[in-house]
């Protein structure tokens, strides 16, 4: 159990029950997003799902889920999915900003328009979604913002440098909004997955992971394991979820032995 300071007094903040809650998930057509749809539906949530791939959304959705195909990098589609969700359910209890993309290309040669697109999808779209859902959450003094970042947001991955930059920015946003909204009963949670067995590598906008990194795939977790960690994090009102938990060792190692970790990263990247 945690406490929030609201209007000059400490206010008890109980763990969130998923049953009956309205959960809006972006990027829900495959991977972590689709797994979250199944995980939260099993826990009794009412779902609103969005992604560009309508066929994938239909597969991920249960019989009672609201499906809104669209591109959340556009203001029109963001407003449409939020508006339809409020029209159907009346509230949005949990927003899971999951949609994202990556590019395996060095920062010094990536076309600047691609860098801008990464920031648009991985950072500005989640920011814009929160700006749409936070006002009604503040009015009800209840709600949770869940931002799916990456271990790369904690420790920069040199084969995904600008992706890591976008996820670092998303992490800072999550932490800042936690403080901004603390008095309003709205919580935030950052999720930092490591290697997850999804279609991320085949869906990247350009390039491919270094061979040594691809071999590490055997240590990856499944989307279902990641979704379970997210659901458990929401229930216990976690600040940050790193999954698998062993990822915390990398974060700690980077803080204590940065030169050693950087050398190891360079070797994985084929640059040392």
- Encode 204-217: b = buried (16+ Cβ within 10 Å), e = exposed: beeeebbeebeeee
272 Cβ neighbours under 8 A, 6+ residues apart: 263, 266
Quick one: which of 101, 109, 108, 151 has its CA closest to 126?
101
Q: Is residue 269 part of a domain?
A: no
Please tell me the distance from the alpha carbon of residue 122 to that of residue 165, in angstroms, as a whole number. 10
User: Is 60 exceeded by the pLDDT of residue 7?
Assistant: no
Q: Is residue 67 part of a domain?
A: yes
What is the residue whose two structure tokens read 């790369």?
A: 152
Q: Is residue 146 part of a domain?
A: yes
User: Is 70 exceeded by the pLDDT of residue 159?
Assistant: yes
11-64 pLDDT, tens digit per residue, is: 445 668 899 999 999 999 999 999 999 999 999 999 999 999 999 999 998 889
Q: Is residue 184 part of a domain?
A: yes
CATH number for the domain harbouring residue 13 = 3.40.50.720
- Indicate the number of domains in the chain: 1
218-228 pLDDT, tens digit per residue, is: 568 999 999 99
Active site residue 117: no
Model pTM? 0.90
Considering 104, 117, 163, 195, which one is annotated as catalytic?
A: 163
Q: Is residue 45 part of a domain?
A: yes
In the sheet that holds 186-193, the strands lie side by side as 66-69, 46-51, 22-26, 94-97, 143-148, 186-193, 240-243
Quick one: which of 16, 171, 251, 90 has its CA closest to 163?
171
88 lies in which domain range? 2-246
pLDDT at 171: 98
Q: Is residue 265 part of a domain?
A: no
Q: Is residue 106 part of a domain?
A: yes
């Amino acid at each position: 159990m945690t406490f929030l300071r609201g209007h000059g007094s400490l206010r008890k903040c109980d763990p969130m029950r998923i049953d009956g809650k309205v959960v809006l998930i972006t990027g829900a057509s495959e991977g972590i997003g689709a797994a979250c749809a199944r995980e939260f539906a099993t826990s009794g949530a009412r779902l609103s799902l969005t992604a560009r791939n309508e066929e994938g959304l239909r597969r991920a959705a249960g019989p009672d889920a609201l499906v809104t195909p669209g591109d959340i990098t556009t203001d029109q589609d963001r407003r449409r999915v939020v508006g339809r969700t409020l029209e159907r359910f009346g509230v949005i209890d949990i927003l899971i900003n999951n949609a994202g993309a990556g590019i395996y290309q060095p920062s010094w040669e990536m076309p600047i328009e691609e860098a801008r697109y990464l920031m648009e999808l991985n950072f500005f779209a989640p920011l814009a979604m929160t700006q749409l859902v936070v006002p009604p959450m503040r009015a009800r003094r209840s709600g949770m913002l869940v931002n799916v970042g990456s271990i790369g947001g904690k420790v920069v991955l040199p084969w995904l440098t600008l992706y890591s930059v976008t996820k670092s920015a998303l992490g800072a946003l999550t932490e800042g909004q936690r403080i901004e909204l603390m008095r309003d009963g709205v919580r935030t949670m950052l999720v930092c997955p490591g290697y997850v067995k999804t279609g991320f590598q085949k869906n990247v906008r350009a390039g491919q992971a270094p061979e040594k990194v691809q071999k590490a795939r055997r240590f990856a977790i499944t989307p279902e394991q990641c979704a379970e960690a997210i659901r458990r994090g929401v229930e216990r009102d976690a600040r940050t979820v790193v999954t698998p938990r062993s990822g915390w060792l990398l974060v700690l190692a980077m803080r204590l032995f940065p030169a050693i970790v950087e050398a190891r990263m360079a070797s994985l990247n084929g640059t040392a």
